C-alpha cells in the first residue's frame, strides 16, 4: 500500500507520495494536467538547477541576512545532485501545463527545498521564501529556456555538426578528380567532379554552423531580475547582473542580463530567430540526404553512381533489397524540425501584455529540434556518410552518354548548331561526335581537339 505525507501550499493540504521530494504545487499539477506523454525536458530541469544555485549565490552576496551560509550550502548541494542526475524521478510534470511554466519552477523549488532540508538535517528551506528568493516563475522560465538552448546547442548539436563536416571533408579529399554528370532540374547537365559535389554539401553545413552560432548571441540575454512583470519587484539592486555572471561561471558560456526585462518576459523573439537557424540546418540536411539517396538509387535501374552501407534488410517481401534508411531518418527529422519551427513561431507570437504564456511548448519544441538534429547527424555520419563509395565506372558511363557535353562545342560551332547536334544525337541514339560530323559542323579531328569534358569542371 502506497504511503503518503501531507504537504500544504496557499490553497491548503495535499497528499504527496512519501517516496518523493516534491511538494503540494507539484502534486496539484501532476494530478490536474494528465495530458499527453511529453514531460518537461531534462535540459530545462538542469537549467533550473543551474539558475537556482546561481540565484542563491547572488542572494548570499546581496542579502546575506536572508540567504545565510547554511541555506546556500543546502541549496547548492541539492542543485548539484540534480545536475549529477541523482534525482531523476522527481520531475514528473507534463509540458501541457500552465503556460508560464510556474508549476515546473515550483517543482524544482520544492525538490531543492526538501532535499536541502534532508541534507541540513532540519527544516531549513522554504521553496518560495528561500529557493525562489528574488525570483518569479515569469523570469526564471524564460531564462531556463535560454540556458538550456545554449548548453544543448553547444554541447550536443555543434559537436555532431562538426563531426559531419569533418567526414565530408575526408570524403571530398578522397574523391578528388572523379568526373561525373552534373544535374539541374533532375535533368542531365554539364560535368562536375564528385569532390565538387561533396564540397557543396560541406559548405551547406558550414554556413548553417555560422548561422547557428550567430543566433546564440541573442539567447545569451537572461530575464532573471525581472521577477513578475519586468519591474524587478522583490529583487535586490544588482541581482540581475550578478546572477548572469554566476550562471556564466557555472556553465562556461557567456550570459548577460537583458537590458529590458519587459521585453524578456513578454517576448520569445530570440528563440524564434535561433530556431530559424535550426530550420535552415534541417533544410540543408534534407537536401544532402535526398542527393545521397538519389545518387545511390538502384542498384540497377536507378542512378547508381554511389553505394552506401547496407545496414539492414529493406523489405519483408523482396529478398536482398537494401534501402537508404539513414537518409530517410534524416529527412523525417528535417520535417519534424520544420514543424517545430512553426510551433515555436506561433507560440512566440502570443506574448500578451507583460508575459508570454506559451513557454513550455517553446521549450519542448526547441530542445526536441536540437536533440533530434544532433542525434540524426551522428547516426547519418556513422551509418551512411562514412561508407559512401563512388561507382566510378557508372559515373564515367553517364558522363560519356550525356548530351549536355555539347556545351563544350559552343565556342566552336555556336549555341544553335550545338543544339542541333544534341537533337540529332538524341533522335538517332548516336554520340555527339557522330552527330557533329554528320551535320558537317566539325571533322573528327576538330571534334577531338575541342571536346575535352575534363576541362569543363574548372
Residues recognised as catalytic: 185, 315
Nearest in space to 389 (alpha carbons), one of 188, 191, 178, 181: 178
Inter-axis angle of helices 269-295 and 325-348, to 10 degrees?
A: 160
C-alpha cell at 83: 545536475
List CB contacts of 50: < 8 A, sequence separation 6 or more: 79, 83, 147, 247, 250, 251
C-alpha cell at 190: 554539364
Residue 39: burial class (beta carbons within 10 Å; 0-12, 13-18, 19+): middle
Element (H, E) at 78: helix 69-83
Query: CA separation (Å) from 207 to 161, 196, 277, 450?
Result: 11, 16, 10, 38
CA distance 117 to 75: 9
List CB contacts of 80: < 8 A, sequence separation 6 or more: 49, 53
Nearest in space to 108 (alpha carbons), one of 55, 52, 148, 159: 52
CA distance 180 to 393: 10
Amino acid at each position: 500500500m502506497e504511503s503518503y505525507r501531507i504537504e500544504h501550499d496557499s490553497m491548503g493540504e495535499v497528499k504527496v507520495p512519501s517516496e518523493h521530494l516534491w511538494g503540494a504545487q507539484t502534486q496539484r499539477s501532476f494530478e490536474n494536467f494528465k495530458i499527453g506523454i511529453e514531460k518537461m525536458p531534462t535540459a530545462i530541469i538542469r537549467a533550473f538547477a543551474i539558475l537556482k544555485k546561481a540565484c542563491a549565490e547572488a542572494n548570499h552576496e546581496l542579502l546575506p541576512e536572508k540567504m545565510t551560509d547554511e541555506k546556500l550550502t543546502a541549496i547548492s548541494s541539492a542543485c548539484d545532485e540534480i545536475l549529477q542526475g541523482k534525482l531523476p524521478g522527481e520531475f514528473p510534470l507534463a509540458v501541457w501545463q500552465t503556460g508560464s511554466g510556474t508549476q515546473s519552477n515550483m517543482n524544482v523549488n520544492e525538490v531543492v527545498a526538501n532535499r536541502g532540508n534532508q541534507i541540513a538535517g532540519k527544516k531549513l528551506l522554504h521553496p518560495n521564501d528561500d529557493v525562489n528568493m528574488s525570483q518569479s516563475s515569469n523570469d526564471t522560465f524564460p531564462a531556463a529556456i535560454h540556458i538550456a538552448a545554449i548548453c544543448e546547442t553547444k554541447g550536443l548539436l555543434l559537436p555532431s555538426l562538426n563531426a559531419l563536416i569533418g567526414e565530408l571533408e575526408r570524403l571530398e579529399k578522397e574523391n578528388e578528380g572523379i568526373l561525373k554528370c552534373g544535374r539541374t532540374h533532375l535533368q542531365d547537365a554539364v560535368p562536375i567532379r564528385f569532390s565538387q559535389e561533396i564540397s557543396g554539401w560541406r559548405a551547406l553545413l558550414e554556413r548553417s554552423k555560422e548561422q547557428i552560432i550567430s543566433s546564440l548571441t541573442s539567447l545569451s540575454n537572461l530575464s532573471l531580475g525581472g521577477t513578475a512583470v519586468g519591474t524587478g519587484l522583490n529583487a535586490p539592486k544588482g541581482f540581475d547582473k550578478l546572477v548572469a555572471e554566476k550562471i556564466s561561471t557555472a556553465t562556461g558560456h557567456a550570459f548577460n542580463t537583458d537590458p529590458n526585462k519587459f521585453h524578456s518576459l513578454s517576448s520569445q523573439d530570440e528563440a524564434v530567430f535561433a530556431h530559424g537557424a535550426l530550420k535552415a540546418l534541417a533544410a540543408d540536411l534534407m537536401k544532402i540526404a535526398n542527393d545521397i539517396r538519389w545518387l545511390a538509387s538502384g542498384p540497377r535501374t536507378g542512378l547508381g553512381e554511389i553505394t552506401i552501407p547496407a545496414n539492414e534488410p529493406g523489405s519483408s517481401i523482396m529478398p536482398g533489397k537494401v534501402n537508404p534508411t539513414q537518409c530517410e531518418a534524416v529527412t523525417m527529422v528535417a520535417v519534424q524540425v520544420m514543424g517545430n519551427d512553426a510551433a515555436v513561431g506561433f507560440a512566440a507570437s502570443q506574448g500578451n501584455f507583460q508575459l508570454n504564456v506559451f513557454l513550455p511548448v517553446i521549450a519542448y519544441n526547441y530542445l526536441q529540434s536540437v536533440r533530434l538534429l544532433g542525434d540524426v547527424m551522428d547516426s547519418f555520419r556513422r551509418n551512411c556518410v562514412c561508407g559512401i563509395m563512388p561507382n566510378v565506372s557508372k559515373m564515367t558511363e553517364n558522363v560519356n552518354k550525356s548530351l549536355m557535353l555539347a556545351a563544350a562545342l559552343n565556342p566552336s560551332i555556336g549555341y544553335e548548331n550545338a543544339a542541333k547536334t544534341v537533337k540529332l544525337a538524341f533522335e538517332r541514339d548516336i554520340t555527339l561526335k557522330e552527330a557533329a560530323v554528320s551535320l558537317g559542323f566539325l571533322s573528327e579531328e576538330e571534334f577531338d581537339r575541342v571536346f575535352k569534358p575534363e576541362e569543363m569542371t574548372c
